[in-house]
Structure 1
Amino acid sequence: MSNTHLVLKDETINTIMNADDEKLPPTYIVTTVSRKTPKQTLGWLINKIRGSKRDGGAELIVMKQHRSPQEDYVLHISATKLKFLEAAEEMEMMKEDSNRQMREFTMKQLDDFLPNGMNVEDLFNVADRQTIVRHELENIRALPEDNHIPGYPTLSLYEGQSILSVCRKNDIITKVYPLHDREHLKKLGQKWYISKKQPFVGL
């Protein structure tokens, strides 16, 4: 992942961009949200995905695909290089070290996992990255103040409940799947809206 991809998470980009690999961070998980979902709910979900840990968020990158009113919302989920490292350590992910021994990855011993001048970007393969992003999505939990899903006052939440599970059970989130084919990514849509802060562009 290039430095350009890291910058994308820390800037608000209010322009429509062409979907090409030079301008967009790689997509690892695609999430579709029902077109019937209120914008209030969609905005809340996006904030949960990209928000800070202390605010109950997953600290991931969200890219909203351009769509027609008849189509479901499509969110492409990615992460920064630092996020992958932090999450891999939290997950106690097993990686091969410079001695070809499998052991739990730690950031403190990062150099031990980078033999022969290996770049940090090469430490995790696509499957690793998809696993990490999905794990972070599944671990977005309701906070004490999240007593219901915004836009759905009858859908109650309790502290610690998985937001993803509740939204899938109630058909707010309709699909969550890994994106394997980069060519398929280009076919999904040619223009994207990218933003970090509210209001989320294109809602």
Structure 2
Amino acid sequence: MIHEVDEALRAVITERALPSGEVRVAFEAPNREWAAARNTPTVNAYLYDIREDVSRRERGAVPVYGENGRVVARRQPPRYFRLSYLVTAWTKRPEDEHRLLSAVLACLLRHETLPADALPPGGVLAELGLVVPVTAAVPPPESRSIADIWSALGGELKPSLDVVVIAPMPVSPEYEVGPAVTDSIAVTVGDIDGRLPDPPLRTSRFDK
């Protein structure tokens, strides 16, 4: 699931925010060694934190529907995880870096969720068919400091966007359900010696 979010972010940034094709998108840690080896304009989306969003946790099985609209299986609801990215721009001039960050921010603000066509086809996120919320530049929790992240990376503080994606992850296999009920039979109950009263005492229908 995490690598699918990476690919979706790459698609959104390269195709919608910076469609010129002149800017590379990287996910490596932006430490000094990486910065020294970089030789092209780059937007770096460093995944620095993964935490479950326990407020979204649900209980009980959820139905899985087939093409005919009937329930074909059941499974446990997915768990949601907050993927936090430190998004930075790297060029030779600060003005160009600010321009790239502005383009990325403007693009992400237009999308409250990752676009469905940006999700990798055939992947878990596309199969679940659930929305994947994304926020940009929202203040991080008090327990988390961007300056501490830069200190851990061994680099100098740099303008950045804190981008958070809340992605679902399946936690159990699907269990098939029995075939749908399509027919029924009627049973008429008579008196003790087998004779049918007039009218019959009771008529019941049983599905099969």
Same fold (TM over 0.5): no
Instruction: Pick the structure with greater CA Rg.
Output: 2
TM-score by length of 2: 0.27
TM-score by length of 1: 0.27
- Greater strand percent: which structure? 2
Which structure's relative contact order is higher, taking Cα pairs within 8 Å and 6+ residues apart? 1
